[in-house]
Structure 1
């Protein structure tokens, strides 16, 4: 037991992060030619909602007002399964997919 080398958890975590980043970069640059490629993102818009009390229904929405504008998503995903892309990475991914067609 004393001759077993213990792995540094921090080093293991860093190796895992690097391998995941390498895999992510490959998936962006080398899209699956047989998959559909449609990039999308998700944004949230906030609303202020006012409620009234109804004895039969409980709280009911009395009014709602949008309090901010729709922004641009920070990260994008592709229908082929690649997630967490910046706009530049998504552009690169679609350009590579179009070139592979």
Structure 2
């Protein structure tokens, strides 16, 4: 007995279905939902420590910001649409206003 299913084809079909659902959610938002675009960004710091012999531990002595706050590459809407580019997020919000 042979297995006629092609895992590569199944994966491709799944990806196409997910992409179509994602596009639909971006361009046809529910008007009754709250729509606010959010993203997560991280700023890095260089932190130095000094040893405290009384407590036997390292204590934070100094911190220096080593990069600037940057806008995240992927955004989400509080309505549940995730993983949008800034262009897709703009289209999502514009679709709500139409």
TM-score range, shorter chain: over 0.9
Which position in structure 1 is the counterpart of 2:15? 17
1:26-76 deviations in whole A, cap 9, x for unaligned?
000000111100001111111000011123161111000000011121011
Q: Distance in 1 between matches of 2:16 and 2:56?
A: 54
* Map of 2:84 onto structure 1: 85
- Among 20, 31, 34, the residue aligned to 1:36: 34
Give distance in 2, aligned partners of 1:45 and 1:19: 35
Matched, 1:60 2:45: no
Compute the RMSD of aligned alpha carbons: 1.2
Gap runs ≥5 in structure 2? none
Runs of 4+ in 1 over 6 A off after TM superposition: none
Match of 1:51 in 2: 49
For structure 1, the 5+ residue unaligned runs are none
Provide the secondary structure at the position in 1 that maps to 2:58: strand
Q: Give the CA deviation at 1:6.
A: 2.3
Give me the TM-score of the superposition, normalised by structure 2.
Answer: 0.92
Q: 1:5 & 1:30 partners in 2: Cα distance?
A: 39
